[in-house]
Every structure is written in C-alpha cells, then in structure tokens.
Structure 1
Amino acid sequence: MTDTDIPTRSPGDSTCVITAPRGSAYSVLSRQVKQAGLLDRRPGYYTALISLVVALGAAGFAALLVIGNSWWQLLVAGYFAVVSTQLGFLGHDAGHRQIFRSVRGNHRLGVVLANLGVGFSYGWWVDKHNRHHAHPNDEDKDPDIGAGALVFTTRQAQASGRVARAFHRYQAWMFFPLLSLEAVSLRVASVRYLLADRDRSRIREALLIALHFVACLAVVVVVLPPGKALAFVAIHEALFGLYLGCCFAPNHKGMPTLTAADNADYLRRQVLTSRNVRGHWLTDFVLGGLNYQIEHHLFPSMPRGNLRRAQRLVKDFCASQRVPYLETGLISSYAQALRHLDTVGGRTGG
C-alpha cells in the first residue's frame, strides 16, 4: 500500500509505545508533532488533574460519613463510580508514560492508582492494552474484540454455538445492560492474572487490591447496615462498569477490522480503526481524553492535555495523505456501534 492509496473499507516497562518504519508517512507526522512540543511532559497539568480527582474522592468520603444511614447514600455510590473511573483514566495515562519521564515513576503511580485506588491489576491491564494498541480491531490479535458475550465480526458470529447465536441476534439491545457488569468482569480477569504466576510483582499487586477492598468495604459496612451496604456496592459496581464501557465503546466498535492481509501501514492501521468524538473541555474530562482516540493511538505517550492541540495537525495531515479521518458526536458514535453489533448479530444464521 502506498502513501496515496485509500482503503475502500468503511467505517516492568509498562508502556504502550509502538514504532513505525522509518521513512513512512507516520514518521513525517511524528516529526511535526515533536517539533510542536506535543510529546513534552505536562507536570503542571497532571499535578492539577490528580489533585482534582483526589479532592473529589475526599469529598465523596466526607459525604459518606456525614449522610450516614440513609438511602441517599446510593447517590454517593454513583458519585464514587465517577471518581473510580477518573482514577482509572489516570492509571491509563501512567500506563502510556504520559505523566512522568521515567518508566519507574509511571509504573509506581499506575500500580497505586489501579490496584489500590480502583481495585484492578495494573500488570494485567498493561499487558492487555499493549496488545490492543499494537493490533487495533484485529480479530485474531486485539483482545478488546475477542468473541465472548458479544461478537464483533461475521466470522465470530458464524462460529457461535446455537445458544450463543440466539443471544447474539439481540446483542445490540443487550449492550448497555452488559456494560453494568464490566467492572466485575475486569476484577475477575485481574484476579485470574495475578493467580496465574506468583512472582513478587504480582504478589505486591494482589496485596494492594486486597487492601483496596478491605478499606472500602470496612468504611461502607461501618456507616451502613448490611442491606444498604450491599445496595451501595451493587450500584457503585454497575455504574462504574457502565461509565467505563460508555467511555471506551465509541473508540473502535463498528470501525473496520483489519488483518495482516490488508497490509495497512502504521498510520492507516491506527486511523482507520479509530473514531474520535467531538466536544469541548467537559467532554475531554468526562471521557478522559479518549475522545481523541485517533491522536491517542498514533501517539500513545502524548500527555492527555496535548491531544486537543494535536488534533488539527493530525487531521490536516490525514487529509493531505487522503486517509479517512472519522469524527462524530457522542450519541452518533453509540448509534454506529449499536448498528454494527445488530448487523453482526443478524449474521449468526440460526
């Protein structure tokens, strides 16, 4: 594939940095981005952002203690779902080395944010997320579109068993309800990862996760009676999963799937499989900067605060290379993803 070809398809070192061949279109764009200073660290930005999220968490704990034994605490549970997701976004940034220059600094912060702050395994997530970035929307290599409760490609749909086919035919309708289980699913995957190999780093991660759950449950149980405590935890987990899923769903679902046979270069592989969501500063905060999915996939180590500035440069470069660049509204992104799931589900056959 040459730089003027246009695809006809439609719409340890915990890093997620991927290199591209020298002399490629991507290397030209990369030089422009570096010259613009868009890969420079943003210590002031992240100090302010981390302080804000920590303050939000502290406010939530204060509300939990002040409100006491009341069903109004379910609103606090929803509030904590937002705080948990924001902590997850910061862990994501640390995993991409966006916050500190050093590998060690990002890794340590990532472990604290993910394991202690959210209750997920940082090591498991980095391993999974690296594979996603290296092979976005590749049904054989991208773990984010592997067949499971949902199917994302015709091949997956046709390979489903009889019972699975009956469910997959209605998977578009079940998509958002299933997202409410996403947090629980991620926790289960984290535990399996940590139990698979008991090396020192995984033991440390397991201890931090255990400390997270013991501390959080202790506070909830002390403040609330068993029934309300159970409802609090259930609401938090459901809304946490829903919020996480709604932030990630617009990024790649319904975009073209690629394989090695497509022979797409790095620039096209990342741009063609990603979808941006337009908005403003509040959109950036709510979605953790993931609304700039194209720029993020092209430059994973770019600090979140630089993505908006990079968008115009990347968009203009894609236009000059005749590479389709998709940007849409948030509601439209969900509609596109759901249409894709409905179309694939209809190909199950029986």
Structure 2
Amino acid sequence: MSPQSGSSFLRPEPGSGVSQLFTWEEIGLHSGQKNSKQEKWLVINRKVYDISQFHWRHPGGTRVISHYAGQDATDAFTAFHKDEDLVQKYLHSLLIGELAPDQPNCEPIKNEMLVNDFRELYSTVKKMGLLKSSNLFFAIIFLHAFLLDIASWLTIWFFGKSWIPFLVGVALFTIAQIQYGFFQHDLGHISVFQKPKWNRLFHFILVEVFKGGTCSWWRHMHNQHHAKPNCFRKDPDLNMHPFLFTLGKTLSEELGKKKKKYMPYKYQHTYFTCLAPMIFVVFMQLTVFRFTILRKKWMELIFIILYNIRVCLMYVPIMGFKSFMAYYWLARFLESNWFLWVSQMNHIPMNIDYDKNLDWVSAQLAATCNVDQSMFNDWYTGHLNFQIEHHLFPTMPRHNYWKVAPLVKSLCAKHGVQYHCKPLLTAFADILRSLKESSVHWEDAYLHG
C-alpha cells in the first residue's frame, strides 16, 4: 500500500531497509515547488531515493542531482557514474522505497519503448568495450598540444617579437590552449582513465598548470549542462539569456511580452561574432577568481596564480611586458572565438525551453546536433562534432564516437526521432540564423504581445 501523499510520518527513514511503494504523483508532491518541506526525491531503476539532505554533499554538485528531483534519473545516473560499485554505498543509505508495480518506468510514459531500447543499446556499447579508452590516443592528444605550447615560446625566443613571429607565436599558443581545453574536457568526463580518481588528478593538473583555470568550477557548470541541456534555469550555458542574447522561441516570446530589452536583440546575430568572445574572456577570468574564493578552493587559487607567474616569467623577459600583454590577450580572444563557435554550433540552433521532464534520450537529441566527420573536423572540434553521441554517453572516450554513431542513428530511425547532422560551415551559419529567428520572435512579442 502506498503512503498517503504528504504524510511523512508513514515514510521510512532513508536506508532503513523498509520497502514502501510510491506513485509518480507522490514522488512529484515530495519534490515540487509547492513542497514546503523542501524534500527532494528521485527514481533510479524503479527505486525511490530521498536526496533531501544528500544533495548538499553530492560529489558532482548539489544542482546537478537536484535538477532530477521528482523525475526518473536512471539514465542520467548511468551516464555520469562510470564506477557504479563506488556509488552503491551512497544509494543504499538514501533508499526509501520503490515504484508501485502499476507505475511506468518513467513519467511521462510517451517514449518508454525508446527508453528501453536505449538501455539495451547502452548494455551493448558496454559489452563492445566502447567505454574503454586508448592510452596511446590520449597521449598523442596531450603531446601535440604540449609541443605546440613549447613551439609558441621558441618562436618568440628565436625569431624575436616582430610581426610575423608574433602572429605565428599567438597562433601556436591559441591552438595549444584550445587543444588543452578539449583534453581537459575528456578528463573532466572521466573518459581517459578507467578509475575516476586518476581522471580527477590529471584534470586538476591540466586545468591548473597548463590553462590557469579551475577544475571545480568546470565540473560545477558542465555537469549541469549535460544533465539538462538547453533547459532554462537548469543549464548554466543559457545564463547569457537574457542579458546578452534572447534564445529560442519560447524564452524570446516570454521576454518580449514582459517588455524586457537588456540589449539590442534585433542585432544579436551581428554582435555575437565580436562581443560574445570579448565578454567571455573577461567573464572567464573574473569567474575563475570569484568561484575559487567564494568556494574556498585555496589550492586551486594558488595554482592559478602560479600559472600566471610562470607564463609571465617565460615571455616577459624575451618580449617585454606590453608586447606580452598583447600576445596573451589576443591569444585568449582567438581561443574564446574558437571555443564559442564550436560549443554553440551544437546547441543554440536546437530546441531551447524550460525543463519538460523528457526522457534522457529525447532530451539529449532535442538539444544537440552533429557535424560531419572528417579528420579536420574531428581535430578542430575535439570530436565534439559527435555531440549527440557525447551527450548520450558522456563518459565514452571520444575516439569511439564514430563507432557508436551508426547504432544511435539506427535507434533514432526505429523510433522516428530526428538525428541532426550537418556540414561545419552550415553549423556555424545556423548559430547566426537561430539568433536572428529568436530576435524576430522577441520583437514580435515586444511590439504586439
């Protein structure tokens, strides 16, 4: 028998071993906005867990797990946790019951067959060994970025700071930094080593020593993005709405009806090219320091400062402080441009809305698209041209995306779900097209709403 909705005295304590049956309605009542007790329940493999207190201690961050309160988190849990045995001790202490037999695996049940087929696909992928990485591949990825980093310094040291070596050095430094960025992305997703602890160790070293960033901030932001991509108020990548851009039809019309105009949105497809990268550079630098100080990540702050000291000691003696400032910030601006175009081409043209509690597969496919495969596209995007596969299997090493892509396409074809794939330049153009379309929706609502 299910407990009465809201009668917490009938609910067993988490981890007590007492099994009770719940409906999706009851789980929702204990996780919704009207829940005065601020409870948070979620479901994994039909088991109901109370994360009301645990979410504050969640190693992946409080927000990423809280985003699934009241929902089925089975596929998200599987996707994020490579070492499932490691997390079982946490789950056992949070268990309060399970779904009643008459309840579907997920709510809503619209795509339950798609969900079941994806779970079979995930098991197949695991048996095929596609979640295991190649040490040689990632060694080459790091080595080529490291050699480019060294080459940028050697160019200035040997040829001086005249225009040609200056620009060549900037290009080499930019490429090295963006490739370090793609590699830290692999480490952050626990896709390089089998053991999470080794990924976290080398993630710390790469981000702090080679990029001067903070790995804690990256995990805090990026895990949320993968949990709920393109979901407003849950995906932090949409924080630029509405202060810089208005995004998607729903949010743009909503903003227009409220008569909000923070920027000249009519021209956002124009100022995206130059304004967004400049703001991103400044935002990143300020955010890194703010995050480490507020979260008291003192070790990370020390390494960030040491990184900046090291880079200055390497370049200032051979080119002077003013030339180095121009050198460094031009490289950061170019890196920011590169990163923004690559990261946004897969998401901004796709559906942007509030969280609709879609199943894992539908949510990822609605928010992501692919870019055609080629050796250049793979390298230029850090294999994020396979964004669909990356979002469905975030711990999969990127050198295996092309192997799983045909299986994902077959799954989509079977269930009539669109699998978006386009040329690289078309993907870039679609960013501007979608920004233009969003501005039209905003303007129409602003003037006539």
**Residue identity opposite 1:246 in structure 2:** W
- Aligned partner (choices 52, 76, 79) of residue 18 of structure 1: 76
Q: How far apart are the structure 2 equivalents of 1:325 and 1:176?
A: 27
Q: How far apart are the structure 2 equivalents of 1:166 and 1:89?
A: 31
- Aligned partner (choices 286, 292, 306) of residue 188 of structure 1: 286
Whether 1:281 aligns to 2:375 is: yes
* CA displacement at 1:233 relative to structure 2: 1.9
Q: How far apart are the structure 2 equivalents of 1:193 and 1:320?
A: 45
* CA displacement at 1:14 relative to structure 2: 6.0
What are the Cα deviations for residues 201-257 of structure 1, in whole angstroms up to 9, with x where unaligned?
x11111111111111122221111343223212211210111111210211112012
Other-structure match for 2:397: 303
Whether 1:333 aligns to 2:427 is: yes
Whether 1:102 aligns to 2:199 is: no
- Contact preservation (8 Å) 1:13, 1:103: no
**Residue identity opposite 2:274 in structure 1:** P
Residue 288 of structure 1 aligns to a residue whose secondary structure is coil
Equivalent residue runs for 1:84-103 within 5 Å = 84-103=177-196
Whether 1:128 aligns to 2:224 is: no
Q: How far apart are the structure 1 equivalents of 2:293 and 2:304?
A: 13
* CA displacement at 1:129 relative to structure 2: 0.4
Other-structure match for 1:8: none
TM-score using structure 2 length: 0.70
* CA displacement at 1:186 relative to structure 2: 1.7
Equivalent residue runs for 1:225-244 within 5 Å = 225-244=320-339
Other-structure match for 2:266: 169
- Aligned partner (choices 133, 139, 144) of residue 47 of structure 1: 139
Other-structure match for 1:67: 159
Q: How far apart are the structure 1 equivalents of 2:329 and 2:355?
A: 42
Q: How far apart are the structure 2 equivalents of 1:87 and 1:121?
A: 13
What are the Cα deviations for residues 272-314 of structure 1, in whole angstroms up to 9, with x where unaligned?
2101000312211110011100000000000011111111111
Other-structure match for 2:175: 82
* CA displacement at 1:78 relative to structure 2: 2.4
Q: What is the RMSD of the two structures over their aligned residues, measured on CA atoms?
A: 2.3
Residue 88 of structure 1 aligns to a residue whose secondary structure is helix
Q: How far apart are the structure 2 equivalents of 1:236 and 1:245?
A: 14
Query: Can you give the 5+ residue segments of structure 2 that lack an aligned partner in the other structure?
Result: 1-57, 65-74, 79-104, 107-114
- Contact preservation (8 Å) 2:151, 2:169: no
- Contact preservation (8 Å) 2:148, 2:176: yes
* CA displacement at 1:155 relative to structure 2: 5.2
Residue 242 of structure 1 aligns to a residue whose secondary structure is helix
Q: How far apart are the structure 1 equivalents of 2:388 and 2:310?
A: 38
Whether 1:320 aligns to 2:414 is: yes
Which structure has the greater CA radius of gyration?
2
* CA displacement at 1:328 relative to structure 2: 0.4
The number of residue pairs the alignment matches comes to 335
Relative to structure 1, the CA distance from residue 307 to residue 239 in structure 2 (aligned partners, 3 Å threshold; closer, same or farther) is same
Relative to structure 1, the CA distance from residue 166 to residue 52 in structure 2 (aligned partners, 3 Å threshold; closer, same or farther) is closer
Relative to structure 1, the CA distance from residue 222 to residue 163 in structure 2 (aligned partners, 3 Å threshold; closer, same or farther) is farther
- Contact preservation (8 Å) 1:258, 1:269: no
* CA displacement at 1:337 relative to structure 2: 1.7
